Amino acid sequence: MKWNYNIIDNLDWGKNITRLEEKEKVANAIAAMVKNGECLGIGSGSTSYLALMKIAERVKKENLQIRAITTSLEITMACGRLEIPTAGLETGRPDWTFDGADEIDPNFSLIKGRGGAMFKEKLLINSSPKTFIIADRSKMVSRLGMNFPVPVEVFPQALSYVAHALKMELNPREIKLRMAEGKDGPLITENGNLVLDVWFDFIPNHAEKTIKHITGVIESGLFIGYNVEILNP
């Protein structure tokens, strides 16, 4: 049964999309790869959103039957609006996944999580036999941490302990609690947690594991040495 007033019918990305032309190019490349019957893992962010729009065009035109496993509410809602059925990772597994990134270094290690969805993004990428990272040219950096902090999702009561342990173990330049937009106080993730944005002058290769070992850390946005293929415009 349909809602009389479906609030998601009028939703769009809701913000200005930077480097739109470049993002649309990689979005088109992703859409061209989709095959009938596939289950797709869909990451978060504006580039993933644009790719989903392009996929939906093909679904409609060619009557493709696909399913999506999503990493954030924004993409789940977009799938709902586009009538693309969604599945959960509890029972489903993607044939392949695509996702965006904030930074990509020459070894294809990544910083992700500007959108605060890095826990589910990492879970999906680890669950997927193949992942494409779609990114405009501004995301390519000579070393991680140049333009973006490393986001760390933290169980709320562990906030001060995690900040202290991060400082002791990795000596970052700055640690900031991410604040919400459109709500007073800190950002709350879809998992009910907080996010620390951690700025580094240098990110050692062991940083991802070191951060993950701190009690209270749910996940970080560092993806060091993952088996991903980068698609640039």
User: In the complex with ligand 5RP, which residue's Cβ is closer, 102 or 208?
Assistant: 102
- 107-126 positions binding ligand 5RP, by CB under 6 A: 112-118, 121
- Tell me if 217 sits within 8 A of 162, measured CB to CB: yes
User: In the complex with ligand 5RP, which residue's Cβ is closer, 18 or 171?
Assistant: 18
Q: How many residues belong to the site for ligand 5RP (CB under 6 A)?
A: 18
- 131-160 positions binding ligand 5RP, by CB under 6 A: none
Euclidean distance between CA atoms 124 and 71, whole angstroms: 7
User: What is the identity of the amino acid at 2?
Assistant: K
Shortest distance, CB of residue 84 to ligand 5RP, whole angstroms? 19
Q: Are strands 103-104 and 131-134 parallel, antiparallel or unpaired?
A: unpaired
Euclidean distance between CA atoms 178 and 167, whole angstroms: 17
Q: Which member of 74, 99, 103, 153 binds ligand 5RP (CB under 6 A)?
A: 99
Placement of tokens 């095959």 in the chain:
35
User: In the complex with ligand 5RP, which residue's Cβ is closer, 50 or 207?
Assistant: 50
Q: Which among 144, 56, 135, 57 has a CA at the least distance from the CA of 98?
A: 135
Which one from 22, 24, 74, 121 is the annotated catalytic residue?
121
Active site residue 181: no
Q: Which member of 24, 74, 102, 197 binds ligand 5RP (CB under 6 A)?
A: 102
Query: Alpha helix (H) ranges present in the chain?
Result: 20-33, 46-62, 73-82, 118-127, 159-170, 207-212
Shortest distance, CB of residue 3 to ligand 5RP, whole angstroms? 28
Query: Which parts of this chain interact with ligand 5RP (CB under 6 A)?
Result: 43-48, 99-102, 112-118, 121
As annotated, the active-site residues are: 121
